[in-house]
Structures are given as structure tokens and as C-alpha cells.
Amino acid sequence: MTGANHVATGALIGASFSAPVALPLALVSHFVLDSLPHHSQAHYSKRSRQFTYIFAADVLLATAVAVLIAVHRPAHWGLMLVAAFLAVCPDAMWLPAYIRTIRQREHLPHNRLMVWHKKIQREYEWGYVTEAVWIILMSIFLRHSL
């Protein structure tokens, strides 16, 4: 799933649940979303312009969600931002591998969590439909929270 979908889902969890429950739920939501069918980036290189554009757009959209929450400051805005961060943070484990790819360096072996995280992914070329529907639904629900 895209980072924007993870951020929006985490923010909605932060708006819907209290602090002790929202935080682990937000973290777990990352893996639940990754197990749903979503867009595959396997058909183009992580060094390609297409990947860079998609990655940049995703970062901008995820940031926009967080900024909107910070600007509107709904009732549980702090919890929403922390939950949004927790929902997207498992993807940070892939950052060193991405940097190594960009620098054309040899990849290091994946740890057990990375192997499991990769295994649960359900990526398809048509998965952008799932991604789009999900972000639209999260936007609708988040709008009511702002």
C-alpha cells in the first residue's frame, strides 16, 4: 500500500480509538493493509523516473494528510499524527535497501521481519484500483474527523 494510505488509515485510527488502543492498532494496520491487494512496483526499476515520481507523489500526499490534521487540529489531532506515523513507519525498514539500490551497491540479506513483510504483500498491476478506492474512503472518513 502507498504511504499516503497508511498515513490516512493511521490518522483515522487515532481519531477513532483512545491512546492505549490506537497506537498498536495503527502499527498493526500497516501489515493488514499490505496484505490487501495493492499496486505493484515490480514492473519498473527503483532507479527509474517513474518510480521516483510515484514515490515523490506518495510522500507529498502523505505529508498533505499530516499537515491538514495539524492545521485543522481536530479533537485528537496529536494522537492522529502519532498513529499516522506508526502506521507508515514499518516501511522505513526498506529505506537502506532503496538507498543501496540508488547507489548501485550490493543488497544486504533481509532479516526475519523483512522476509515476512515481503511475503504478506499482495501486489498486482491492477492494484492501483484498490489504492484509489482506499484513499477515497479514508479521505471521506477523515473529513468527518477534521
pTM of the model: 0.91
Could you read off the pLDDT of 85-142 as tens digits, one per residue?
A: 999 999 999 889 888 888 889 888 889 999 999 999 998 889 989 999 999 999 999 9
3-state secondary structure of 72: helix
**Other beta carbons less than 10 A from residue 82's beta carbon:** 18
Number of other residues whose CB lies within 10 A of the CB of residue 57: 12
